[in-house]
Amino acid sequence: MTDDTSATGGESGRMTRRGVLALVGASAIAGCSSIDSLGGEREATIDAYNLPDVPRDEERESPVSPSIPVDITAEHFDAARERIRSLLATLPTPLGPEEIPNGHIRQHLTDAASDASDGLDDARTARTGLMALRSLRRARENARYAAAGWSVVESGRTAAPLRNEHERTVSAAHETRQKHDYIGIDPVRAALVHARIETGLERASDMDVLPREESELLSVAEWGETAESAQAYLDDARHLRARFAASLPSDAGTVRPTLTDAAETLLVDIRDRQADLPPETAADERSPGQMVVDELRWEVESGLSRLTDAVGPASAVVDANSQIARFRALDRIQSRREADELARPSDAKTVRDIRQTAYGALTAALESTSRSALARTVLVDAGHKVMAADRELTHHQGEISATTLDRSVADYWHATALARSVSAATHQTVRALQAD
């Protein structure tokens, strides 16, 4: 695949699940209208042909893309692309058994080089600048993995210089974190940008993920990937910081006290909400409604540790906003269950309606808040739930039990509840950031 390949190339030739089933013939899948359960009762069944027609696309992306309110320069993207191409240029083409006799090792390097090339294409067609940064960073990691591995064969390279390179990058990231100034005018925008910078610097200085491969060649390859990953995170964080500073007036002051106070205020509310959670009840059956309750309960119970261990005040604010949205989503789901509004669907039309409602809730949430950038941080996760539900639907064919769709239905309901809760959560977070 080249840089000139269209992102939509081949779309007309892709066969959807409905198209496949149509070729098989409706009569082949009509079957009976029910399936005998183990107890001899007849469960409701659904013809998969009538479910939403979701394309079989393993590269499907979330309906809501992550973004950042900063303009990333073309020069920064170009520098990353050049770095990737220069690393790939060190590899022989093709990389065959004459170069690396061991097929297992050769496949690792070949796959990494291929993933790096794909990453260049992904970045070119990315829907947001932040997604392009992510694609290029992963491409850099893969390209360095392949190049470092090949350098063992070509020049007998060892891991020592790569370990030293990584240590220097980690030290630079630590120094950058210590000197980081939380400048800003709008505390909401500042929270979103500084949270990304905090995360990038934290990952650039991470010493926990280190190579553990037994093969010397692959160990060197992983050290190359580790060193490149740290440098890529550091490069991106510094660029975001510089671009954000350039967008502000020269007299912009610090917003660190504002972020810290807001994080503490939101954390108090989250602790109160967690203390008021009703006791967990044992469900008689594993219904999709119960699945959503269990998942949201787990998320709000486990999320407190992430807040208390946040890498910085900006990340704490952004994470708190997400947690408050999840608490509200849990309340919403529990209310719907008590009102008997979450009955398992027994026909395909209801499943289609549930899916459409989830997509509509995502769109409405983005359009209904004046702080869509902050809401988006939550809606990206909601979009992942929709994406997972869609992918699950593509696995079904023929006449299936209604319970088979529980996972997809639960994910659609989860996404809907989260999307419909984000506006109130965002409003509360903005109030905390704007408090005197």
Q: What is the pLDDT of residues 294-349, one digit of tens each?
A: 999 999 988 887 788 889 999 999 999 999 999 999 999 999 999 999 999 999 99
> Does 290 share its domain with 221?
no
Instruction: Write out the residue range of the structural domain in which residue 289 sits.
Output: 256-434
Q: What is the pLDDT of residues 296-310, one digit of tens each?
A: 999 998 888 778 888
Q: Which string of DSSP letters, residue by residue, matches 274-298?
A: HHTPPPP---SS--HHHHHHHHHHH
> Does 116 share its domain with 191?
yes
325 contacts 270 by C-beta, under 8 angstroms: no
What per-residue confidence (pLDDT) applies to 17?
A: 38
**Which of 202, 226, 246 is the last residue before a domain boundary?**
246
pLDDT, averaged across the chain: 88
Q: Of 180, 176, 169, give the one whose Cα is nearest residue 230.
A: 169
> Does 330 share its domain with 224?
no
> Does 314 share its domain with 400?
yes
Q: How many domains does the chain have?
A: 2
Please check whether residue 38 lies inside any domain of the structure. Answer: no
**Residues of the chain scoring pLDDT < 70:** 1-42, 57-60, 209, 213, 281-285, 436
What per-residue confidence (pLDDT) applies to 42?
A: 64
> Does 143 share its domain with 176?
yes
Distance set, CA 116 to CA 2, 81, 84, 123, 369 (Å)? 12, 10, 7, 11, 38
> Does 240 share its domain with 260?
no
> Does 340 share its domain with 406?
yes
Distance set, CA 298 to CA 256, 302, 342, 377, 424 (Å)? 31, 6, 19, 19, 21
Please check whether residue 68 lies inside any domain of the structure. Answer: no
Please check whether residue 368 lies inside any domain of the structure. Answer: yes
> Does 112 share its domain with 86?
yes
What per-residue confidence (pLDDT) applies to 229?
A: 97
> Does 108 share its domain with 222?
yes
Please check whether residue 66 lies inside any domain of the structure. Answer: no
What per-residue confidence (pLDDT) applies to 278?
A: 76
**Which of 201, 226, 246 is the last residue before a domain boundary?**
246
**Which of 223, 246, 269 is the last residue before a domain boundary?**
246
Task: Give the span between the Cα atoms of 391 and 56, in whole angstroms.
Answer: 8
Query: Quick one: 187 exposed, middle or buried, by C-beta within 10 A (0-12, 13-18, 19+)?
Result: buried
67 contacts 129 by C-beta, under 8 angstroms: yes
What per-residue confidence (pLDDT) applies to 267?
A: 95
Please check whether residue 10 lies inside any domain of the structure. Answer: no
What per-residue confidence (pLDDT) applies to 62?
A: 82
What per-residue confidence (pLDDT) applies to 279?
A: 76
> Does 203 share its domain with 328?
no
> Does 115 share its domain with 144?
yes
> Does 332 share its domain with 384?
yes
Please check whether residue 126 lies inside any domain of the structure. Answer: yes
226 contacts 352 by C-beta, under 8 angstroms: no
Task: Give the span between the Cα atoms of 292 and 330, in whole angstroms.
Answer: 8
- The structure tokens listed for 333 are 């789901």
